[in-house]
Each structure stands twice: as structure tokens, then as C-alpha cells.
Amino acid sequence: MNVEKAWTILKDHSFKRTKNREAILHYLAQQDGYTAAMDVSEFLKRENPGLSYDTVYRNLATFADLGILEETDLHGERQFRMHCDPGVHHHHFICTVCGRTKHIPSCPMDLLAVELPGVEIEGHKFEVYGKCPSCK
């Protein structure tokens, strides 16, 4: 997902292009993994000290609801990243220290589905947590 694709989605859902939304999207587009809402807020407050954490958090939640951002829970906190290519099915390894991610191209559901005869699987999410080579 790039910033312009994100704006297309936002416009399709009648969201206005604001300076704060623009800053949030550009910041996350530059990140190499999941980022906590507080980190996004603190970075943006350098340029806009009056920006509230609630505004940042609401926008992040909206972006996630619209499929612009992916989210996970690390250390009991929602964290966000730009959504990967929505047309390519994959999963992630997520570093619990720095939040960086690595794509896992294979899907464990291929193996698990045979253990679930007669069920209709509607969706799944698979994440592996640990420390990346830089953090271990």
C-alpha cells in the first residue's frame, strides 16, 4: 500500500485530505514494521505540538478499518503498519523488540485445513513473534 492508494480508499469513503492524515500516512509509509500509536503521535507532535493522541489514534483505527493499515497486538498495545499488497496472501514474522516484519510466503492453513474436515474457514491471521537478527 502506498500513500496515494490510501488516499483513493479514503476519498472513496468520503474522508477529507487533511494535514494530519497526510502526515500519519507518510510517517507509516517510511516505517519498516509495526509502530505503536504513541510513537506515531510523538513523532508528529514535533511538527504539530497541538496534535492530540486521540486524533492520531482515531485516524489509525479508521485506516485499519478501511484496510489501509494492518494491525497487531505487541506488548498489550495495538500497533500499525501500512498494509502489504492486498493481492498477495502471506503472513509475517514480527520482531518483538523493534517491530520489524518479514514476510512468510507460505500459509500454515494449507496444513491445518486437512485437520478440520467439514468446516468452512472464512478467514485467518497467522503471525510469528520473536527477535530479528539485529535485536537478538
pLDDT tens digit at each of 136 positions of the chain:
889 999 999 999 999 999 999 999 999 999 988 899 999 999 999 989 999 999 999 999 999 999 899 888 888 888 898 887 666 777 888 888 888 888 887 888 878 878 888 888 887 788 888 998 999 8
The answer as to whether 135 is a domain residue is no
Domain span at residue 105 reads 91-130
> Is residue 13 located within the same domain as residue 61?
yes
Give 101's contacts (C-beta < 8 A, 6+ positions apart). 32, 33, 34, 81, 92, 93, 94, 95
Domain count, the chain: 2
Nearest to 93 by CA among 110, 105, 77: 105
